[in-house]
Chains A and B, each alone.
Chain A
Amino acid sequence: MDWNLLFLSFSAVFISELGDKSQLAAIALGGQSKVPQAVFLGTAAALILTSLLGVLLGEGTAQLLPERLVKGIAAVGFALLAIKLLWPAGD
């Protein structure tokens, strides 16, 4: 077990993720949710799966998926979550 490699990758990713979209989303969603565990597990699972895909597909991920479309859908997703919070339809 190569500990300094483990520590290197932990700190590199930790620092790069601090204040990233996913963490801001975790703060926003985690704060207002009645089931914060679901927010934590959802966020962590999504991040680990995306980095696993990044690992397995390597450089391929960039060419493979239409990034504009994927990020566009994500933007719509976040907008819906925001609207639900800012203008609750009394649900």
Chain B
Amino acid sequence: MSSSESPPEVATPVAEAVTAASFWRVFISTFATIFLAELGDKTQVTTLLISAQAESPWVVFVGAAAALVATSLIGVWLGQWLARRVSPQTLNTMAGTLLLAITLWLLWDIAHL
């Protein structure tokens, strides 16, 4: 059934409140899942640091943190770039399948711990 597009309503304060709430919901769910998934994985940063223990561990940490911000930014950009190229349904299916793949990857990790 083709419902006519409702006129684009002006960004009312209610809409702003909704986006703020959804911002925090998405932030927390993303933070929680990735934090747990990555918690055990940070061995390579630790080993990097142990090798640099004598000199300046914080320089190593700043470099690592910058790299992590860069890869996250590239990931989100790539996702947004894709979002402009495929229909929302395809995007959702792709995103869902990718997340399922990550789930399987985590289960594989667990099986091999």
Contact = CB atoms under 8 A, between A and B. Distances in A.
What is the interface residue range for chain A against chain B? 35 or more
A12 B39 contact: no
Contacts of B62: 6, 9
Most buried by A among B24, B32, B67: B67
Contact of A23 (B36, B74, B96): B74
B102 A43 contact: no
Interface residues of B, number: 76
Contact of B46 (A45, A49, A58, A72): A58
B106 A32 contact: no
B63 interface: yes
B26 A38 contact: yes
Contact of A25 (B27, B40, B68, B102): B102
Interface in B10-37: 19, 22-24, 26-37
Contacts of B33: 25, 74, 77-78, 81
Contacts of A42: 26-31, 34
Contact of B79 (A7, A26, A61, A77): A26
Interface string A51-88: 11111001101100101101111110111011111101
A43 B59 contact: no
Contacts of B55: 2, 5
Contacts of B22: 34-35, 38
B38 A50 contact: yes
Interface of B: 19, 22-24, 26-46, 48-50, 52, 55-57, 59-80, 82-83, 88, 91-103, 105-107, 109-110, 113
